[in-house]
Amino acid sequence: MNSFSEIVEEIKTIISSDFGDKKVFDKDVAKALGISQMNFATMKKRNKIPFNELLDFCALKSISINWMLYGQSPESLVEATNRFYMIKYFNDVHASAGAGSEPLSEDVEELEMPSYFIDKLGGEKELNNIEAINVSGDSMEPTFSYNDIVFINRSKTDLGRGGIFTIRTDAGLFIKRVQKRIDGKIDIISDNKVYTTLTLDPKDIEVIGRVVCRFGDIT
């Protein structure tokens, strides 16, 4: 990030057209930012950037704050924002948040995800492990609702610390909150308190992967 002194020089260049042939001084920058000369001098000495005042100045001058702080051009910001990533989506797979269900088929589509969403999935390094499926049933409400699309990290199958997982049992495919007991058995928990907790032996559970997102953080 640019130092406050570097930002001051940029502001001097921006407002120089208002001064004709006259030299622009720090006091002129302070005035443009709406800061007293004394506070301005202290901030500059301590390299303390007045972000609120700087945001107001950039908005007034129609300038990108990222350009001011980091030297990023608007074009580079648009390019980064418009980057997309493809994720496997099994559109016919329905993991039940109610009674067990199985996919009728495994037709794979590709979901186009914007770059800002990828961090929620663990970053680019995890994309090869991510798959998306659908939710059916109401046993995990309010965490999930019918027809939500959830994102599963298939590399994360350790139930030791608990969490929300997609699992397969003899009854079908489920999305449930799981918790490992002291005796080694697994509690299969529904967030909807209408449903009772089921306890299974680990050998009776196939862990598909941890649910990491549904276009929002999982709680």
- For residue 102, the model assigns a pLDDT of 46
3-class DSSP assignment, residue 78: helix
CB 209 within 8 A of CB 152: yes
Domains located in the chain, CATH noted: 4-79 (1.10.260), 84-213 (2.10.109.10)
Q: Is the dihedral of CA 29, 31, 35, 36 positive or negative?
A: positive
Angle made by CA atoms 17, 21, 25, in degrees to the nearest 5: 75
Distance of CA 208 to the CA centre of its chain: 22
- For residue 51, the model assigns a pLDDT of 80
CB 162 within 8 A of CB 91: no
Tokens of 19: 């001064």
Question: In DSSP terms, which residues pair with 207 in a beta bridge?
Answer: 167
Closest of 46, 47, 17 to residue 32, by C-alpha: 17
pLDDT tens for the chain, residues 1 to 219: 788 899 999 899 889 888 888 899 999 999 999 999 998 999 888 888 888 788 888 888 887 777 777 776 555 545 544 566 778 777 666 776 654 444 434 567 777 777 767 888 888 888 889 998 888 888 898 888 777 888 999 999 999 889 999 999 988 889 999 999 999 999 999 999 999 999 999 999 999 999 998 865 555
Length of the chain counted residue by residue: 219
- For residue 99, the model assigns a pLDDT of 45
